[in-house]
Amino acid sequence: MDPRLIQGAVLVLAGYLSGSLPMGVLVARLTGGRDPRSVGSGRTGGTNALRAMGKARGLLVGLLDIAKGAVPVLAADLAGADDLVGALVGVATVLGAARSLFLRFHGGRGVATGIGAMLVIQPIVVLLSAPIFFGVIWLSRYVSLGSLVGSAAAAVLLALMVVLGANPPVAMVYGVGAAILIWVAHADNIDRLIHGRERRFDSFDRDPA
């Protein structure tokens, strides 16, 4: 078998396993915080960690989620993998974040992990899409809406970078794949947004710890 094919498969699997690491649950257990699965949406990402454990640990979970997306894609790049493999590794990290092997295929929404992967693939996209993400949250008070619009905007911006020649066309495997996974992970949020039942950012349960 082609060694490059084996290397690619190993890197994609490593990306999925990295994405699968449930940082919200691990931080809760290591610091004595409240398990994020016990509140709100029951997800394990930074937003629910903020609800469960407060700002400091919520921020830590968010940063760790970003790292688990960035590190595998960077490792693929350093290993000399081709651009398609790098894109597939990025998609695998988002899949792992949303469907964790360690949580019976439950997890977070994949947003922070997707940001981490994008930071390696094309950091300018993160820079340009961040104001859109935060702007939508500020205007609507819905984190989920900011995530949905921000992920779609990131895919469009990455396509623009491809057109401008800053990234190869296969980078869109990541742009489109990650956006689809993030939207699928937000299916329940989309339903609540449509029916006016989504929870606003300023109505989160606050834990003073």
Residue ranges making up the domain that contains 96: 3-203
How many CA atoms within 13 Å lie on the side-chain side of 68?
Answer: 31
Tell me, rounded to whole angstroms, the distance of Cα 108 from its chain centroid.
8
- Asked whether the whole model's pTM tops 0.85, one would answer yes
- As for how many domains the chain has, the answer is 1
| 181-204 pLDDT, tens digit each | 999 999 999 999 999 999 887 655
Q: Is residue 209 a part of any domain in this protein?
A: no
Cα–Cα distances in Å, from 165 out to 156, 169, 171? 14, 9, 11
Q: Is residue 173 a part of any domain in this protein?
A: yes
Q: Is residue 208 a part of any domain in this protein?
A: no
| 105-160 pLDDT, tens digit each | 999 999 999 999 999 999 999 999 999 999 999 999 999 999 999 999 999 999 99
Burial 157-179 (b: 16+ CB within 10 A, else e): bbbebbeeeebeeebbbbbebbb
Name the phi and psi angles at 106, rounded to 5: -105, 175
Q: Is residue 149 a part of any domain in this protein?
A: yes
Q: Is residue 73 a part of any domain in this protein?
A: yes
